[in-house]
Structure 1
Amino acid sequence: MNKTFKRTLLGAAIASAAMASVSANAYTIGESNDSKVEVYGIVSISAVDYGAKGGTFELENESRVGFRAAQAMTDSVEAFVQIESGWVLDDGADLGNRDTFVGMRGDDWGSVRFGRMLTPMYELVDWPYSASNMGTTFDRGWRSGERFLFDRKSQQVRFDSINYADMVNFSVALGNGSSKTDDSTFYGAKVSVTPVQMLTLHAAFETATDTIFDSGSDASLEADGSVKAAKADSVGDTDSFFAGFELRPMDSVMIAAAYKTGEYDAKDKGGFTYDKREIEAYSVQANYYMGSANFRLGYANQTGETDSKTDAYLDRETLTAEFGYSFNSVYTFLRVAEHSNDGEGDTMVRIGTEWYF
């Protein structure tokens, strides 16, 4: 009887274990997860005085943190994901407000991504051609009336090729424009060619339809109590083109220059007065590396027309100088830039540090 009782308990235990196993795997789809997660980030903070009348130094915190993970789908294809936050404002930074996407990649063909990321053209505009605050002139997409291209788009599909023959690679992207409608779309592409080891050439374009080009304003009260009427958005089509090069004649020298154009044609002027705007901009810089030190001089210029007439509102230029030193990969720098717009000039001073983890 004792043996029978023991066998009964053993049978019950085996049955319970089997049922627990089934229960534990009831919601498992596919194979077990053996992917690795990487935590990475950049520490980037600086004190800056833009030189505005009555202004003072302020802290700008561009630090960011992100997570990457990958999982093999087949012997030659891998799925991956990235989630990133950054640009810490007074109310903090939301996880996912920077490049956040999912995708697939293969060593033989490249990668395709879906989600929020830089557009191919803006990736070139942003770096290195807007370095040392030349972006205040060369990268003007943040300024109302000058959004001739997108920077980071959430509704985007992007393909990046492998580097063919260690010489050529390209990217193409498409997605929704300013709104999720059939008429609001954007397309963009870039190509980079390295004909010789010391020289890399870049070209890019972007076109968008039914773009909310200028954001309007809500109705508001004037100081005298009168009502200031609301201003409707301006909606139209934009086109942008870019060309640039990076030249490294020796290890200690890098010279880079780029040129871009942008055009806007209104479909609905809304509360604004113009039908068309055009800009031309260029940037040029020289870098000299001496051990852990870096010296940079740069200049950027933008001019433009509104309804085929020269428009001083679009004129901008920046002359900048930077000295930086890397203390065991912690890059600390002093940057001075002279910005001018609409005939007025401001001297910017920035002191900061950057390092990766």
Structure 2
Amino acid sequence: MRLLLLCLLLQFSIMAQTTNTALEPLRSEPPLRVGVIGLVHTHVHWILGREDQGDIEIVGIVEPNRELAAQYSLQHGYSMDLVYNTIEEMVAAKKPQAVTAFNTIYDHLSVVEYCAPRGIHVMVEKPLAVSWEHAQQMAALAEKHNIHLLTNYETSWYGSNEEAYDLYHKQQAIGDIRHLNFYTGHPGPIEIGCNPEFVEWLTDPVLNGGGALTDFGCYGANLTTWLTQGEVPLSVSCITQQIKPDLYPKVEDEATIIIAYPKTQVVIQASWNWSHNRKEMEIYGTHGYIFCKNGTDMIIMEEEAKGPYDHQAGPLSPGLHDPFAYLSQVVQYGYTVNPWDVSALTNNLRVMQILEAAKVAAQTGKTVNWQEFFGS
């Protein structure tokens, strides 16, 4: 499996040297035929409630829970004729070009196992998998059958994050990165009113791969890997707590991950104990900083003498503005997925390594040495 990862990194690095194609008009081709696998992940409302932009068409939905499917049918207006009990039935009847997985994280592997040999591209909700072991199996299948395997994060579509990347990499506005801080999470899935179908698996260590560590630690790991362009960590440390065992008896609800790089330290605070919903990023360079408070609001200091200023980030380019437009561009028009892009498989394999090391560090109470643990 280690050889597989090295081969994937080499392949995607070669791909990254090619010039990306210009975005194609969204309606120059028939819409991408997309199947939705599962309705138990409430992020599914994103695709179900998305206005018709002409770039994708939901041709089938897989959800054995007919009551849940009917509830969402009333809410979003799709026909129950689109709903199938199994992926086998849906694929045979509708022949999608791609699927989006909104089932449990554990079941991401089974989606890829079925779709990859049939040439069906897959986009999963974050994180890529429940474990490094599952992630490697998924990557091997995607490579063998030449499909795109993408991972969707809400933060991938924040204009603030995109502008922060541009300020750092292209404008070199703050110098070299020394510190990255991430504050991700909310008061808790039960506290914010997540539906029972979601809470049932989100708080299960097998089906979700963990609790807050998995649920929100992945955001910081993903953005760090993007901002550092795949720099290999030196070590990973992690402390977890179970502050609310009465609500979450099986998993941690608090996690702090520390990732050490040769010249950068990353702190990810992933929590179901925040006072409010938050996905914030702080980038500290050698002579400036960039704070992304949400998808649009930013505070930037390029030089201490000039002081900080507020900035409002603009939207992302049409065609790259949300996961489903992006999926259409990649599958239909050959938009290049560079190896360390936020949705890319290579990036998300690294994310799974970070999460795996964090789990081990939390369980053992010892810092995980990257080279000793992964061998590279």
| The two structures share one fold, judged by TM-score above 0.5 | no
Q: Which has the higher contact order (CA 8 A, sep 6+)?
A: 2
Q: Which of structures 1 and 2 has the bigger CA Rg?
A: 1
- The two structures have a TM-score, normalised by structure 1, of 0.25
Kindly indicate which of the two structures has a greater share of residues assigned to strand: 1
Specify which structure has the higher proportion of helix.
2
